[in-house]
Amino acid sequence: MGEWETLSEHACFGGVQRFHRHASVEIGLPMRFALYLPPQALAGARVPLLIYLAGLTCTEETFTMKAGAQRVAAELGLALLMPDTSPRGANLPGEADAWDFGVAASFYLDATREPWARHWRMESWLIKELLPQVAQHAPLQPGRAGTFGHSMGGHGALTLALRHPGVFASLSALAPICAPMRCPWGQKAFTGYLGDDRTAWAAHDASELMRTRRGAPYPQGILIDQGLADKFLADQQLQPEAFEAACATVGQPLTLRRHAGYDHGYYFIATMVEDHLRHHVAALAGTGGG
């Protein structure tokens, strides 16, 4: 594992907000991430960890600077990890314009199709490399980690939590891409990264993954918030109803809240973020660790 480099450090609500970079072995490129440690961690206590995965055009800075989550995390004694959304700097042909997003947005999976397969290994970076490394560097409670995300990051949170049972003990999402096999964003990304095999696509589709479970993987409940003024909801990019139906099929408790007037942006996220942090702390309270 590459050594951490601290790019900056900022006192924040009695804790510390740090921005880091390391040379990722899985991705083969430098990767950036942000880590917030609450005052309880600085005082020597071990704390739960919540991983936030951001959306298509974001970086490790977006949620960190816009959501206002540190105030609540400091109160609750919760560490926050905000990784960058995608590899950068591979200098592949068309990388800057891939998927029309201005970046080759990762969809938080390991690509199998060239030219992406060498570096676009976000799932392996997060699960096999970054999370174990954070556990070594930070005073965290074993077995008490949750994940949530927004848009593409909501897709990432849902799919990684379902694909890696036991890694995350709590789960939520904000305006997630719930059925990427059925929406233009997902179809374009899956074709580019995975090819035309729809079986491979289904392994990274939250609604398909949930539908094939034999029981509720998160019996303490999943929380999803969705704004009804979200243009991407109207464009059928998000499809929360597909995930809602899949949860009902397997008996997975789901709180899907629909909010009139809210769009897809960070004003929506800032409004909802406290509820999500409190959801995770309540869910993680019943898990292992100490």
Give the residue from 130, 124, 137, 136 showing the smallest Cα distance to 23.
130
Hey, CA dihedral for 152, 288, 47, 255, is it positive or negative? positive
Concerning whether 207 is annotated as a catalytic residue, the answer is no
Strand 79-83 relative to strand 30-37, pairing: antiparallel
The two structure tokens encoding residue 158: 């849902």
- 264 catalytically annotated: yes
3's CB contacts (< 8 A; 6+ apart) are 22, 23
The single residue listed with the structure tokens 């942006």 is: 265
Our answer to whether residue 151 is catalytic in this structure is: yes
Residues 209, 203: contact at Cβ < 8 Å?
Answer: yes
- Of the candidates 24, 86, 151, 170, the residue annotated as catalytic is 151
Of the candidates 20, 150, 204, 264, the residue annotated as catalytic is 264
Residue 132 C-alpha from the chain's centroid: 16
- Kindly name the residue from 230, 276, 279, 280 that is annotated as catalytic: 230
Task: Provide the annotated active-site residues.
Answer: 151, 230, 264
